[in-house]
Amino acid sequence: MTFDGKIVWITGASSGIGEALAKAFAAQGAQIILSGRRTDALEQVAAGLQTDSLILPFESTNYDALPAKIEEARNWKGKVDILVNNAGISQRSLALDTHPDVHHKIINVDLLAPIWLTQLLLPHMIAAGGGHIVGISSVAGRVGVPLRTAYCAAKHGLIGYMDALRAETENLHNIHVTNILPGSIRTNVSRNALTKDGDSRGKSDAVIDNGMEPAECARQILEAVFNHVPELIVAEGPEMAIAKLRQSDPEQCFAMTSAMGAQIAEKYEAGDDD
């Protein structure tokens, strides 16, 4: 497996899965465009890479600024071979008491921003003769997970967009599309999740803290991209089982998540959201 000569653009590259992907792609010969909001964090990631990198910070929902960022990314090496839409934000709150602004922000960041970046880059990939677009969704993009209604909506939507895009472009334009559905990966996703009022949660979950290492998640993603796999679930144990159950036996899946949701909602209302 090698990505020698490939230009890989990763959003949300300052930490977690994005940082692990940058290191993994660079180790396989790719040159990396690192995007995120925090320039200092991106510089730290760049310092640890084995190949050339471009630090390209931007706010993913600043849509007016995106065309210029697209040009800067393309002008760096003349092309972008692989776009990894990884930037995102999660949620920890019940639908019943979540402010609408929280839904707006999460759907804007997790769904509309990657769609628009993809839309702007797509014509250039087609003109170059092909490319690969990766959408980092979630197991929560396949299964309705309690305390994550807005997040699930966005991640389900991202899968739908990517599936339709694949249908339109794979055979006609040589644009490969891969959906990635991570389960619990050891990152700051829970700590940075939004609460019902839009504040950062500020603490992690035990299931995340005991989750898969980002480096292993990245290894599996690279293998899927290299082999042009349309969709990959990156999860273990019960998370993998329930993601597969959603497809093979939806009624059983719904019964399980309803039972789980009732327990989690009761704990949450009692002040325990771990």
Measure the CA dihedral 151/236/189/180, to 10°: -60
Give the CATH number of domain 7-236; options: 3.40.960.10, 3.90.800.10, 3.90.320.10, 3.40.50.720: 3.40.50.720
Phi and psi at 84, nearest 5°, equal -110, 105
pLDDT in tens, 181-202: 999 999 999 999 999 999 999 9
pLDDT in tens, 230-248: 999 999 999 999 999 999 9
CA distance 189 to 172: 36
Domain ranges of the chain: 7-236
Mean pLDDT of all residues belonging to the chain: 96
pLDDT on residue 1: 84
Global pTM reads 0.95
Does the pLDDT value for residue 274 go beyond 70?
no
> Token pair 């293998």 is at which residue?
223
Catalytic residue among 63, 151, 161, 268: 151
Please confirm, yes or no, whether 161 is among the known catalytic residues: no
